[in-house]
A and B are shown apart, each in its own frame.
Chain A
Amino acid sequence: MEISITVNGRSEALDVPDNALLADVLRERLGLTGTHVGCDTSQCGACVVHMDGAAVKSCTVLAGQANGAEVTTIEGIGDPDNLHPMQAAFRENHALQCGFCTPGMIMSAIDLVQKADGQLDEGDVRDGLEGNLCRCTGYHNIVKAVLAAQDDMKSA
């Protein structure tokens, strides 16, 4: 099927199989390999991107469902010289080790902070990131980073 999506601000017209997953289209067709795939049951969150401003697990979205949508991936939120506050907070707080969960974690965390409007405490962050698995960090520094980014995003 023919779809047109805007990915990180660029519009793309693609011919994709009906059963193509958004995650695979991003990775294989658009070369946006920052979106990772860590499971086959929609439970790890490594694949989280934003679709029309909200976090979605791109392994669970058909590319066809994204037709007409604005999609933002980890590649689209900042670059090394101009990091998103969440990216900066992850680095500052050593909230990543192997980095595999990180793109999904950052995309989920941004959505979480935006929705909460700066009102998150530690427990909220832990609950809010329950859909993202990290095997490396024990979450301690991720929670710290998200709380720090919340302050930065408020003042930004």
Chain B
Amino acid sequence: MANETGIGAAVKRKEDARFITGAGRYTDDIGAHGQTYAVFARSPHARAKLNGLDSGAALATEGVVAVFTGADLQADGIGDLPCGWTVHSKDGEPMVVPAHPPIAVDKVNYVGEPYAVVIGESLEAAKNGAEALEADFEELPAVVDLASAASADQIHENVPNNQTYDWELGDKAATDAAFAEAHHISTLEIVNNRLIPNAIEPRAALGEYDAASGLYTLHTTSQNPHLERLVLAAFVQIAPEARLRVISPDVGGGFGSKIFVYAEETAVIWAAGKLRRPVKWRAERSESFLADAHGRDHVTKAELALAEDGTFLGLRVKTLANMGAYLSTFASSVPTYLYGTLMAGQYKTPAIYVEVQSLFTNTAPVDAYRGAGRPEATYVLERIVETAAREMGIDPAELRRRNFIAPSDFPYETPVALTYDTGDYEASLAKALEHADYAGFGARKAASEAAGKKRGIGFSCYIEACGLAPSQVAISLGAGVGLFEVGEVRVDVTGSVTVVTGSHSHGQSHETTFAQIISDRLGVPFENVTVLHGDTGRSDYALGTYGSRSLAVGGSALIKATDKIIAKGKKIAAHMLEAEEEKVDFADGTFTVADSNQSLTFPEVAFAAYVPANYPLEELEPGLSEKAFYDPPNFTYPAGAHICEVEIDPATGVVDITSFVAVDDFGHVVNPMIVEGQVHGGLAQGIGQALLEHGVYDETGQLVSGSYMDYTMPRADDLPSFTVDTTVTPCTHNPLGVKGCGEAGAIGSTAAVMNAVTNALGVASVPMPATPETVWRAAQA
């Protein structure tokens, strides 16, 4: 039976019914009886001593319930916000970690850093109270420029040179030797611009404390409620995990920015306990700009050594990564293990050496943003490959082909610590070239030129490492948490199925795709499967959603759980049909005995498990509910080819994307409609980085791009329609053969756009974002 709602079908989404009718339930839609409102007082200075704080007038403001300072939290034993990945420097020393109190105590280090929280009976009262606070700041010179941060004023007492670590990966001597042999060396100095994530739902939190049970409940906009709970329990010391429930209801996009544990929900849940009243907070957009963790922000010098025929011999990369003012939850891992490890790309470069110095500045903390390290790596690699192709006069598609890891080379061990399981890079590129009509590019360019326009084409053949990752490998590299996932399949008495997953959906559509998997495996009608997620009170400890891991890791856990269900179902069926267990088969929702006409449906077996009249109770527990933890043996390696074609009007500098083709290999696809949607969204963010978005601080550390008037979000009229297609080499090490699709669009597209823009302009490099002004200037040169 072909299952029309099974794996591979473009099933319409379950979650849409509530979202298109306004019945979604986001954190800010939830209220509690007697709730109070929190407003955070935020530093107006990038760097200052906080010599005193007079909250008298604030407390006297009508409707103000309380004012809490960083000292209040500290006095109550509330700990720092931790960074969960310890990266080691070249010399073997662990990274240097500055103190990060949730609310600043005696100094502030970025504009927007909270230094007090005011709780009011109404939002207005809390705002009035916050305005009445009198803080005595002593301003200090701010460190803003990343390139000079190491020699600037020291921000944190315990962090010399503002450096948290100086990390390396790869074989330096072998790489130096490769460069000594080179026929040609291409060099590129590039900046990966700072981005501000801007999920359209602002972060929010509702903290409640139940004095009767001592139970804390935090509703918050988190991509990983269990991680939130772990940090709040073990590090911040709110309460033991067993007395802390974290619920992420519907969440309006995350893109990484909602992975992290922030000051605001920490203060909200703590204050709820102190006041014994619910406390509610929702970020205003201007707060999101200031205080959500930002993304990217690298300065890099890269060199590629090539042989005469274009064979890559060696790659050298030296990067400065901006951490902002503090180490956010996973900040340290982004420019290292999610960046340096990707420098082989799709190529057989034999020698690679990467150095990354991560530095503090007086800016908002920087952490994972869609792609996290992998877009930065792809940008470096694909820009320098394109540069080399141009310098050596080799067609950029051909240069890539000459250096691709071939299908016969897998499993392929890179010189930067990864082992790719499978792939066919040539196939994706070939398909993309066809969609892009590469052969016709010359004619289109000529036509543009005749019309006074400049046309360019750019490639990006990216790879990413997703489905993070074998726990033991990650932990040996400094991760503070395991990276498995949990899935629970509860077969109900009548044969419907409730699935509880530790993954979280904030747009990814787990309620649909996970139901497809269950429907496919158990033969249960799609509409009879309900997927629950986002609640530490419902699922076992799990790691949540980031790094395109939900399906590859969370989906695999579900497969393991369904295997257990089927195995137990066979035992039950064998007993009921008086057959040998080995003779019982299960397919399409029916247990059958080989060589007989005896069979039982899945609901019949489920019913027998819960109403065990004819049931082997002495050997088998009743019930049909199984849980599995899945720890992936390797990363997955989605890869693909993106081709962007642009036309530039040299008179205005406006870049028009005339075509964008993305051909991706995600392994098997559970729902092609949803996968395409994920690619579209990623492309928009990658193109946004290339042409529009820019998080800018002025030299005093004020955020210049702090609203939608100054930070250019991609809008409908900024983007083209996309041509999206796939090729398939199934992942070899997870049961679904899937690789993950959430980040690919953002990882591959930025380099393709910038390669197209520089190709059109005939220049080596243009800074991002390639705004009309920037492009116009480049066009005049």
Q: Could you tell me which A residues sit within 8 Å of B by CB distance?
A: 27, 32-41, 43-44, 46, 73-75, 78-80, 83, 87, 90-92, 94, 96-103, 106, 122-123, 125-127, 129-130, 132-143
Interface membership of chain B positions 373-413, coded 1 if the CB is closer than 8 angstroms to chain A and 0 otherwise: 00000000000000000000000000000000000000000
Report whether B20 and A98 are in contact in the complex, using a CB–CB cutoff of 8 Å.
Answer: no
Listed residue (B200, B506, B509, B721) with the most chain A CB atoms within 10 angstroms of its CB: B200
Given the known interface contacts A75-B22, A138-B722, the answer about A94 and B715 at a Cβ–Cβ threshold of 8 Å is: no
B26 at the interface (CB under 8 A from A): yes
A98, closest chain B residue (CB): B507
Contact across chains for A97 and B507 when beta carbons are under 8 A apart: yes
A selection of 24 A-B contacts at a CB cut-off of 8 Å is: A33-B22, A37-B202, A37-B282, A38-B202, A41-B285, A90-B16, A91-B13, A91-B17, A91-B20, A97-B507, A98-B201, A98-B252, A98-B253, A99-B20, A99-B507, A100-B201, A101-B252, A133-B708, A138-B681, A139-B680, A139-B719, A140-B680, A140-B722, A141-B680
Q: Mark B672-692, 1 if CB is under 8 A from A, else 0.
A: 011011101111110000000
Binding site for A on B (CB under 8 A): 12-13, 15-26, 28-29, 198-202, 250-253, 255, 282, 284-286, 506-509, 673-674, 676-678, 680-685, 707-709, 713-717, 719, 721-722, 745
> What 5 A-B pairs have minimum CB-CB distances, sorted nearest first?
A34-B22, A100-B252, A99-B19, A138-B684, A98-B507
A94 contact set on B, CB distance < 8 A: 12-13, 673-674, 676-677
Q: Are B16 and A137 in contact (CB under 8 A)?
A: no
Q: Could you say which residues of chain B place their CB within 8 Å of the CB of A122?
A: 721
Known contacts: A36-B201, A43-B708. The answer to whether A102 contacts B19 by CB under 8 A is: yes
Are A132 and B22 in contact, CB atoms less than 8 angstroms apart? no
B287: nearest residue on chain A (CB-CB)?
Answer: A40
CB distance from A115 to the nearest CB of B (A): 16
Determine whether the beta carbon of B200 is less than 8 Å from that of A129: no
B23 touches A41 (CB 8 A): no
Residues of A within 8 A of B12 (CB): 91-92, 94
| Contact assessment for A78 and B21 in the assembled complex, using a CB-CB cutoff below 8 Å | yes
Q: A40-B284, A41-B707 are in contact. Are A136 and B23 (CB under 8 A)?
A: no
Q: How far is the CA of A15 from the CA of B313 in the complex (A)?
A: 74
With A125-B716, A138-B683 in contact, is A83–B721 under 8 Å at CB?
A: no
**A117–B745 alpha-carbon span in the complex (Å):** 35
Contacts of B674 in A (CB 8 A): 94
Shortest distance between the CB of B256 and any CB in chain A (Å): 12
In the complex, which of the residues A44, A96, A130 contacts B285, with contact meaning CB atoms closer than 8 Å? A44
Closest Cβ–Cβ distance, residue B686 to chain A (whole Å)? 10
Number of A-B contacts (CB under 8 A): 179
Contact, CB under 8 Å: B709 / A34: no
Establish whether residues B199 and A98, one from each chain, have CB atoms under 8 Å apart when the complex forms.
yes
**What separation, in Å, do the CA atoms of A105 and B552 have in the docked complex?**
32
**Other A-B pairs beyond A32-B22, A141-B680, 4, CB < 8 Å:** A33-B22, A36-B200, A91-B20, A135-B255
Chain B proximity of A78: nearest CB distance (Å): 7
With A135-B199, A139-B716 known to touch, is A99 a contact of B250 (CB < 8 Å)? Answer: yes
A94-B674, A137-B680 as given contacts; A33 in contact with B29, CB under 8 Å: yes
Inter-chain contacts of B18 with A (CB < 8 A): 99
Report yes or no: A40 in contact with B17, Cβ–Cβ below 8 A: no
Q: What's the nearest-Cβ distance from chain B to residue A35, in Å? A: 7
Q: Select which of B200, B284, B285, B707 is within 8 A of A134 by beta carbon.
A: B200
Contacts of A140 in B (CB 8 A): 680, 719, 721-722
| A133–B13 CB distance below 8 A | no
* Of B28, B677, B707, the contact of A137 (CB 8 Å cutoff): B677
Asked if A91 meets B16 with Cβ closer than 8 Å, knowing A40-B285, A41-B285, the reply is yes
Tell whether, in the assembled complex, residue A141 and residue B677 are in contact, meaning their CB atoms are under 8 Å apart: yes
Nearest Cβ distance between residue A12 and chain B, in whole angstroms? Answer: 17
Residues of B within 8 A of A46 (CB): 200
Q: Which of A43, A44, A74, A137 contacts B21 (CB 8 A)?
A: A74
By a CB distance below 8 angstroms, the chain B residues around A125 are 716
List B contacts of A126 (CB < 8 A).
716-717, 719
Contact check, A87 vs B20: say whether CB atoms are below 8 A apart: yes
Closest CB of chain B to A41's CB: distance in Å? Answer: 5
How far is A122 from B506 in the complex, measured between Cα atoms in Å? Answer: 28
CB distance from B359 to the nearest CB of A (A): 29
Q: CA of A38 to CA of B253 in the docked complex: distance in angstroms?
A: 12
Chain B residues lying within 8 Å of A123, measured Cβ to Cβ, are 717
> Considering the chains assembled together, what is the distance between the CA atoms of A129 and B716 in angstroms?
6
Q: Which residue of B lies closest to A104 (CB)?
A: B200
Q: Which A residue sits closest to B710, measured CB to CB?
A: A41
Known: A94-B677, A99-B252. A38 touches B200 (CB 8 A): yes
Residue with the greatest number of chain B CB neighbours at <10 A, chosen from A27, A40, A44, A143: A40
Shortest beta-carbon distance from B760 to chain A in Å: 22
Contacts of A40 in B (CB 8 A): 284-286, 707
Asked whether, in the complex, the Cβ of A132 is within 8 Å of the Cβ of B681, the reply is no
> Could you tell me the distance in whole angstroms from the C-beta of B725 to the nearest C-beta in chain A?
14
- In the bound assembly, the distance between CA atoms of A9 and B707 in angstroms comes to 36
- In Å, the complex CA distance between A126 and B20 comes to 20
Given A83-B20, A138-B680: A37 and B28 within 8 A (CB)?
A: yes
A99 and B709 alpha carbons, distance in the complex (Å): 23
When distances are taken between beta carbons in the complex, the residues of chain B under 8 Å from A87 are 20-21
Q: Nearest Cβ in chain A — how far from B174, in angstroms? A: 41
Q: Is the CB of A41 within 8 A of B681?
A: no
**How many Å from the CB of B543 to the closest CB on chain A?**
20
B21 to A136, Cβ gap below 8 A? no
Contact A133 to B721, CB < 8 A, known contacts A43-B708, A44-B285, A97-B681: no
